[in-house]
Chain A
Amino acid sequence: MASTTPTETPPAPPAASRRAASTGRVGDKVFLGLSRGSGILLLAIMASIAVFLSYRAALAISKDEGNFLTTFDWNPAGDPPVFGIAVLLFGTVVSSIIAMAIAVPIAVGIALFISHYAPRRIAAPLAYVVDLLAAVPSIIYGIWGALFLVPYLGGLNLWLDEYLGWTYIFDKTEVGVARSLFTVGILLAIMILPIVTSVSREVFLQVPRMNEEAALALGATRWEVIRMSVLPFGRSGVISASMLGLGRALGETMAVATVLSPSFLISLHILDPGGGTFAQNIAAKFDEANQFGRDALIASGLVLFVLTLLVNGAARLIIARRKEYSGANA
């Protein structure tokens, strides 16, 4: 909630000052009322979602016989009901971190290539192709992941296990196909690639021409230009692009549900099948759950809601601190 308030307040002062100087025409008043009304409506909807989630979650958590934060099990239909979010929180965060670690460097690379290296004839089609990736529904990614990616990742898994097994996280302790958090991370990386790429590209294209030309005039090579003017200018844009991608990765449901082999265990061996995410767990359990089970799932959804708000809030803080570079002021 805290993160949305700042965005809603800025439009108000200009509107107010304009009203003071306005000719008093009806249209202005109607528009003012409409925009203020929609702002308030949005806040009201957000608040009601939060209230609904909290209420239902409280019903479930009060009857939870396990510890909601540390229990490694999800069995609200059991006797006694026991469920906890530890595994889901771990799986959601780990798969998103893997996705970010893979997607952001690649996305920045593609964005730089499209905006500064590629000849125009190639740049435009390439940009479309990347954007089209965003139009593929997530269930299609899920099916592709389960039927194509998983078998083909077997070799990569063995390679990682053999050469990077000493890092512990790449140590594969269980045989079995690659239906792991690592595979999910790769799939999520592909899914968030278009959004990160396209926002980064827009930001890189907005670097003031003068900055680049000044650098070139000083004798900088193209890579030096990028390093000295493009990247510093685009940093906050890339951060917000990454956060948009992260938001998608945190909440992705169907693709994860199709690819992951979920189990209620926390393991840092990311190549082993197992783990789970909030959204995947909700999709998997919701159908067969009774009223109480659904409340328990809603409680886990509330945690995801808070997690997403925290991430967005953090992103806004970072961006606000470097406002002078923001693309909006260019």
Chain B
Amino acid sequence: MKLQRKNGLRATALGALAVSGALVLTACGSDDNTGGSGSAGEKKAAASNIKCDDAKGQLMASGSSAQKNAMDLWVKNYMAACTGVEVNYKSSSSGEGIVAFNQGTVGFAGSDSALKPDEVEESKKVCKSGQGINLPMVGGPIAIGYNLPGVDSLVLDAPTVAKIFDTKIKKWNDPAIAKLNPGVKLPETTIQAFHRSEDSGTTQNLGKYLGKAAPNDWKYEAEKKWPAPGGQAAQGSSGVAAQVKQVPGAIGYFELSYAKSQNIPAVSIDTGASAPAEATSENASKAIAAAKIKGTGKDLALDLDYTTKAEGAYPLVLVTYEVVCDTGNKPESLDTVKSFLGYTASDEGQKILTDAGYAPIPTEINAKVRETINGLS
């Protein structure tokens, strides 16, 4: 009897805590990383000219979380315009998206790196008489955020960035950094370089950039796994950003939207142009404009020019792709894929990217993307 009463009390206490806890947590659950982009999206939906064509039913998609914020806006606008169509983008990771694509469970996959040869080979099983191709859809700058009280702007170049993340440069007042920042009073703080603890497309893109732009100081393969032995790790872009925000002397890399939403200052990169390039959407677009298409046939995988010296071009960029079959898409989702990707590649769809902290794909490449989408079968 006594025991029962005790359990009852305990259950009540637990329940009360759970309810109040849930209330407290939901109260602060409006973590919008894109900052005000929601309202921008709504405005556009009102004046939309999205072509729904024969789109119908449910379209499943999965993949890169780097393009999640853009995808959320696109899906919302698209579904508002085309009633009766449901687009479901599960933002997991590029790897998971490609695995799902090659198992034939999704209409398209989002990926922040182009398909590898063995993945293309595998995709031929799903794409009858065709293969998986990459459509560049979302560009964006990777910001290098830092935490140095008293230093409002910082300029680095690729070799210095490489040495910092390789823990070869250990102090903030190192001559290499001082040389790039004349007149800035750099503290004698120890540099604490943070990288991603889990495998990540962002890590791979940083590796590609450093490998091309600072080949003498960055000898590692560009992999999703962090290759260098030193430094510290944190989980996810949000985890790295949180650590940089918290630890004086820290430096880390993440998508620009994280730097913006947490007010973390980002490094400007000295590319050899007359002025260092700031990490902004516009500057990222300028760098992507220097890219060349390296894919063959309908594949539009890009070869980014990381060593560009174009004025104002911010070279540390990543491009995320949508992966589809060139021919042999599943008949039940083909029309919806064409209609939805047609919208995301349209002027209207690309314009949203800037509002969300991303960078649009340059017009010439984008024209080819649209052409390819029209020819999908």
Q: Which residues of A contact B (CB under 8 A)?
A: 74-75, 77-78, 124, 128, 131-132, 135, 146-147, 151, 175-177, 179, 257-258, 260-263, 265, 273, 283-285, 287-291, 293
* Residues of chain B contacted by A132 (CB below 8 angstroms): 13-14, 17
Contact residues, B189-235 vs A (CB, 8 A): 190, 192, 197-201, 221, 223-225, 229, 232-235
Report the minimal beta-carbon distance from B106 to chain A, rounded to whole angstroms. 15
A262 touches B197 (CB 8 A): yes
Top 9 A-B pairs, shortest CB-CB distance: A288-B199, A288-B95, A284-B198, A287-B93, A261-B232, A261-B233, A175-B190, A273-B232, A262-B197
Q: Show 5 A/B contacts (Cβ-Cβ < 8 Å), sorted by A.
A: A77-B199, A176-B190, A260-B197, A285-B198, A293-B95
* Residues of chain B contacted by A284 (CB below 8 angstroms): 197-199, 235
A177 touches B243 (CB 8 A): yes
Contacts A78-B223, A287-B96; A177 near B232 (Cβ below 8 A): yes
Which of B10, B119, B221, B233 has the most chain A CB within a 10 Å cutoff? B233
B224 touches A77 (CB 8 A): yes
Measured CA separation A273–B201 after assembly (Å) = 24
Partner of B199, one of A175, A273, A289, A291: A289
Report the minimal beta-carbon distance from B236 to chain A, rounded to whole angstroms. 9
B95 touches A262 (CB 8 A): no
Contacts A124-B6, A261-B232, A263-B229; A287 near B92 (Cβ below 8 A): yes
* Residues of chain A contacted by B192 (CB below 8 angstroms): 175-177
A128 touches B239 (CB 8 A): no
* Residues of chain B contacted by A78 (CB below 8 angstroms): 221, 223
Measured CA separation A291–B221 after assembly (Å) = 21
A290 touches B199 (CB 8 A): no
B10 touches A288 (CB 8 A): no
A288 touches B233 (CB 8 A): no
B221 to chain A: closest residue by CB: A78
B191 to chain A: closest residue by CB: A175
Report the minimal beta-carbon distance from B228 to chain A, rounded to whole angstroms. 10
Report the minimal beta-carbon distance from B194 to chain A, rounded to whole angstroms. 8
Measured CA separation A262–B232 after assembly (Å) = 7
- The answer, yes or no, to whether B60 is at the interface (CB within 8 Å) is no
* Residues of chain B contacted by A175 (CB below 8 angstroms): 190, 192
Seed contacts A128-B10, A261-B197; 7 additional CB < 8 Å A-B pairs: A78-B223, A146-B243, A176-B232, A257-B197, A261-B232, A261-B233, A289-B95
Measured CA separation A259–B132 after assembly (Å) = 38
Report the minimal beta-carbon distance from A25 to chain B, rounded to whole angstroms. 30
Report the minimal beta-carbon distance from B2 to chain A, rounded to whole angstroms. 11
* Residues of chain A contacted by B243 (CB below 8 angstroms): 146, 177
Binary contact readout B79-93 vs A (1 if CB under 8 angstroms, 0 otherwise): 000000000000011
A135 touches B17 (CB 8 A): yes
Q: Which residues of B contact A (CB under 8 A)?
A: 6, 9-10, 13-14, 17-18, 92-96, 98-99, 119, 190, 192, 197-201, 221, 223-225, 229, 232-235, 239, 242-243, 246-247
Which of A128, A135, A262, A287 has the most chain B CB within a 10 Å cutoff? A287
Report the minimal beta-carbon distance from B112 to chain A, rounded to whole angstroms. 10
* Residues of chain A contacted by B95 (CB below 8 angstroms): 287-290, 293
B94 to chain A: closest residue by CB: A288
B229 touches A288 (CB 8 A): no
Measured CA separation A306–B157 after assembly (Å) = 49
Measured CA separation A77–B339 after assembly (Å) = 35
Measured CA separation A137–B197 after assembly (Å) = 22
B93 touches A288 (CB 8 A): yes
Report the minimal beta-carbon distance from B299 to chain A, rounded to whole angstroms. 20
* Residues of chain A contacted by B197 (CB below 8 angstroms): 257, 260-262, 284
Contacts A176-B232, A179-B232; A287 near B14 (Cβ below 8 A): no
B99 touches A291 (CB 8 A): yes
A264 to chain B: closest residue by CB: B229
Partner of B14, one of A77, A135, A293: A135
Measured CA separation A21–B368 after assembly (Å) = 84
Measured CA separation A179–B235 after assembly (Å) = 12
A150 to chain B: closest residue by CB: B246
Contacts A261-B232, A287-B96; A135 near B18 (Cβ below 8 A): yes
A177 touches B247 (CB 8 A): yes
* Residues of chain A contacted by B6 (CB below 8 angstroms): 124
Report the minimal beta-carbon distance from B269 to chain A, rounded to whole angstroms. 25
Report the minimal beta-carbon distance from B120 to chain A, rounded to whole angstroms. 13
B196 to chain A: closest residue by CB: A284
B198 touches A287 (CB 8 A): yes
Report the minimal beta-carbon distance from A243 to chain B, rounded to whole angstroms. 24
Measured CA separation A176–B234 after assembly (Å) = 13
